[in-house]
Structure 1
Amino acid sequence: MSTEGRRIAKVAALVAGGAVVGAGLGLLFAPQSGAETRRTIGRYAKRAQIQAMRFGRAVKSGVTEAVERGKHLIQKRDQKPVVEAA
């Protein structure tokens, strides 16, 4: 992964982490009963789980596509005739 790609991944992880922490704090300080808060947290956790699975599938798909492109480029390179000087 390039340096820019790593930077983008770090920013995305920080944003996602901040969203989770912010949502958690918002739920803890909300004027609700404990049962309502637990139910809300459970729903939020289920949605976060679904989103994480979707994100994981998208990442896996992207990695698979990149690997296939790399394999294709290597095959293309290997098929080119090599001309050597006499």
Structure 2
Amino acid sequence: MSISMKEGPMTTEMRCLLGASLGFLSGVVMGLGLGVLVAPQSGSRTRRHLRTMVEDMSEQAGEWVEDAKVALEDLIDRGKKLVAKER
């Protein structure tokens, strides 16, 4: 496996992860905004529902951050091994 240094500091995997994360966050913001505007429930029920949704999304985001950390650590390890191999 050869690695091209022309890719720059951000790999294709990282760009993909960043794009997916930004797309998800954009969808969340738009969904919450539309949900509040057309909510057929009372204010307190809507707030409770939104709070639950935000807590769930925070948990999911935390899991994604952990996955990203693991992927980044793996990339760093692979890079170190390639550098050591080339020496």
On whether the aligned pair clears a TM of 0.5, the verdict is yes
Q: Which residue of 1 aligns with 2:28?
A: 20
Q: What is the aligned counterpart of 1:68 among 55, 71, 77?
A: 77
Label 1:5 to 1:61 Cα distance change in 2 as closer, same or farther (>3 A): closer
Take 1:55 and 1:10, find their aligned partners in 2: how far apart are those partners? 11
Q: Which has the higher contact order (CA 8 A, sep 6+)?
A: 2
Q: What is the aligned counterpart of 1:35 among 44, 57, 81?
A: 44
Deviating above 2 A after TM superposition, structure 1's stretches of 4 or more consecutive aligned residues are 2-6, 8-11
* Identical counterparts, % of pairs: 31
Unaligned runs of 5+ in 1: 79-86
**How many aligned residue pairs are there?**
77
Which range moves more in the overlay, 19-28 or 53-62?
A: 19-28
CA RMSD of aligned residues (A): 2.0
Q: What is the aligned counterpart of 1:47 among 38, 41, 56?
A: 56
1:59 aligns with 2:72: no
- The letter of the residue matching 1:65 is D
If the length of structure 2 is used for normalisation, what is the TM-score?
0.75
Larger radius of gyration: 1
If the length of structure 1 is used for normalisation, what is the TM-score?
0.75
